[in-house]
Structure formats: C-alpha cells, structure tokens
Chain A
C-alpha cells in the first residue's frame, strides 16, 4: 500500500474511533464499568436521622446506588419501580441505596410518602461532585450505579433506568 494512502487510512480510522468514543461515551458512562467500586463502597453519609451509614455495609450483595433528588421529576418517576424491585429481589441479595442531592427533611417526607423500602442517604449538593468522580460527567440526575457481589461496578446510567433494563442487569448479577 502506498505510504500516504496508509497514513490517510490510519487517520480516518482514528477519527472514526474518536467519534465513536464521543458518541457512546456521552450516551452511557461505561468508563467506570468493570472497575473496582472500592471508592464508592468506602463512602459514608448520614441518613435522614443524621446517623452515618457506610455503603460498604452490604458486602456480597448486588448494590444499586441511585443519586436522586426530590426536586427531580424523572428521579421520582422511576423510584416506585425501585421499591418494587427491592421487595422482589431483596431476599436474593439485591440492595438499593439512594443518595439524595437534597435536604434531610425533604428526603424524610418523601420516603414516608412514597413508602421507600430502602435507605436514602443525604448527600446534599456535594453528592453531585461525588457522582462526577464516579462517571456522572454531566452532573445530572438521576444517576445510577450497579455494583456486583464482588464489589465491581457492573453498570452506570445517567437518566432513567427502565424497568426491563434494570431487571436484565440485576438478573444477570444475582
């Protein structure tokens, strides 16, 4: 092959790979997937009563960590499904944990109103910065991280996690 043609081909493939990276990278946040979730599991945040709770307190379980807020309508929309999934899969080792970008009183009220059957910890706006280090580049909500039984990040998702998708991911890990 002619040298300049080969150079051009390499450049084109490079541009295509970069574009594909941008495309898929922005739709999903897969760069964290497969990585060790130790940083996440080492976190400790207060619950609505002010008692510190560690995310590492459920070793061996499949953990679904959901960053949300009471002011975020799409977050509220998907939470009844999380409540259903917690009841359905809880005994098999699934544990949901919310991290609220919100105030304790609002979270408490919401938890009662919606009958949340899993803990929601209070992260305040600082939780947004935290989620950025875990792959939430746009710092938007909802943002959800699924951690497998071995403590590895199995899935990260910006935006609603549709029931079918959630079940497909969880079924594989349990």
Chain B
C-alpha cells in the first residue's frame, strides 16, 4: 500500500456551540423537573399519604381527628374505627357525618368520604396532662383501581388543662432548662 487511506470515517466535527449545550441542558433540566411531577400525578400514593390523619386536643375532654383525603381517593364510612390508649381512658365516638353514597356493584349502597373528614371525639376518664394515643383504623381505595388493607394510624397527644390553648399533634413535652 503506497498511501495510507485518506477518507476513513468523517472529518472531525466542530465542537457544538455553547448555545446548543445550553439548550440541551435546559431540556434535560425541564425533563428532570417534569418527571417527578408526572409521577406524582400518576403513581398511587402510600396509604398514609393518601389518607393523612392529624389530631389535636381541643380541650381536656375533646380530641379533634381530621383526615385529609387526596384527590382520587376515598375512605369507607363504615370501616373507620377510633380507640384510645391507655385502656383506662374511654372514647365516645359520635355518629360519623353522612358520606357520599356510592352504589357499589358488589357491596350495594356504601358511604364514602372524599376530600376530608373531621370528627370530634369525647374523651372520658383521662387525666389532664396525660399523654394519650389515639388509634384510628380506616380502609380506603383509589379510583385507579387499588384498595389498601385496613390501616391503623396512631397519634400521640397530651390532653391540656382546661382553658389552655389546643395542643398540636405529636408536640413534644416542653423541657425546662431549670429543672
């Protein structure tokens, strides 16, 4: 061979211009930003995120329990149960509010909650200042066609003395530096 081959492959390409890189980076960033948002729209939520429970003591004898139910999810009215610990304390649960009536092909007429639910629970025989645990069992489904098994959520709270401000859920006991 007299001469080395002269035209193998393509000639070296000019480096892409900075603006092309910037555009590429921006598209990649947009994609990266959009995907989690898409995932949030489409992917089913973990049960505790689909049905967010919070609770606070309104006074020494009343606990307000609140469910915030994500869009596209619902709880069955007759599968919600409240209980309290310690066993010495008792909970008087009022009739739950009317839900949305759903004609289910299998279960007949059932009531469901969408959006949210607030229930005021009366506490009896608990000591003021005592830490109690509210246990809430619930069962719900998502419109995408999945159901969660009955789920028990627990919220620990302290019953306030009369006339004090309502406590926030899971508020840690205040520690004094002087004790």
Q: Tell yes or no: B147 within 8 A of A by CB.
A: yes
Q: Which residues of A contact B31 (CB under 8 A)?
A: 16, 19
Q: Tell yes or no: B11 within 8 A of A by CB.
A: no
Contact A19 B148 (CB under 8 A): no
Q: Tell yes or no: A139 within 8 A of B by CB.
A: yes
In the complex, the chain B residue whose C-beta lies closest to that of A158 is B146
Contact B141 A73 (CB under 8 A): yes
Question: Looking at the complex, which one of A5, A22, A27, A71 makes contact with B147 (CB distance below 8 Å)?
Answer: A71
A-B contact count (CB 8 A): 93
Q: Tell yes or no: A119 within 8 A of B by CB.
A: no
Q: Which residues of B contact A13 (CB under 8 A)?
A: 28
In the assembly, what is the distance between CA of A26 and CA of B46, in Å? 10
- In chain B, positions 7-54 with a C-beta closer than 8 Å to chain A are 15, 21, 25, 28-29, 31-33, 35-36, 38-39, 42-47
Contact A12 B147 (CB under 8 A): no
Given the known inter-chain contacts A74-B141, A74-B145, please indicate yes or no for A138 contacting B44, CB distance below 8 A: yes
Q: Tell yes or no: A153 within 8 A of B by CB.
A: no
Q: Interface size on A (CB < 8 Å)?
A: 33
Q: Which residues of A contact B146 (CB under 8 A)?
A: 74, 138, 140-142, 158-159
Q: Which residues of A contact B148 (CB under 8 A)?
A: 138-141
Question: Looking at the complex, which one of B15, B35, B44, B141 makes contact with A22 (CB distance below 8 Å)?
Answer: B35
Question: Looking at the complex, which one of A16, A26, A75, A141 makes contact with B43 (CB distance below 8 Å)?
Answer: A26
In the assembly, what is the distance between CA of A76 and CA of B142, in Å? 15
In the complex, the chain B residue whose C-beta lies closest to that of A20 is B35
In the assembly, what is the distance between CA of A61 and CA of B9, in Å? 52
Q: Tell yes or no: B177 within 8 A of A by CB.
A: no
Query: Looking at chain A's contact residues, is the secondary structure mostly helix, strand, loop, or mixed?
Result: helix
Q: Tell yes or no: B2 within 8 A of A by CB.
A: no
Q: Interface size on B (CB < 8 Å)?
A: 32
In the assembly, what is the distance between CA of A75 and CA of B35, in Å? 29
| Chain A interface residues (CB < 8 Å from chain B) | 1, 5, 8-9, 12-13, 15-16, 19-20, 22-23, 26-27, 69, 71-77, 101, 125, 128, 138-142, 158-160
Contact B39 A73 (CB under 8 A): no
Shortest distance from the beta carbon of B88 to any chain A beta carbon, whole Å: 28
Q: Mark B135-154, 1 if CB is under 8 A from A, else 0.
A: 00001011011111110000
Q: Which residues of A contact B147 (CB under 8 A)?
A: 69, 71-75, 140-141
Contact A23 B35 (CB under 8 A): yes
Question: Looking at the complex, which one of A5, A16, A26, A140 makes contact with B28 (CB distance below 8 Å)?
Answer: A16
Shortest distance from the beta carbon of B148 to any chain A beta carbon, whole Å: 5
In the complex, the chain A residue whose C-beta lies closest to that of B28 is A12
Contact B38 A23 (CB under 8 A): yes
In the assembly, what is the distance between CA of A77 and CA of B147, in Å? 12
Question: Looking at the complex, which one of B25, B42, B149 makes contact with A12 (CB distance below 8 Å)?
Answer: B25
In the assembly, what is the distance between CA of A9 and CA of B32, in Å? 12
Q: Which residues of A contact B149 (CB under 8 A)?
A: 69, 101, 125, 128, 139-141
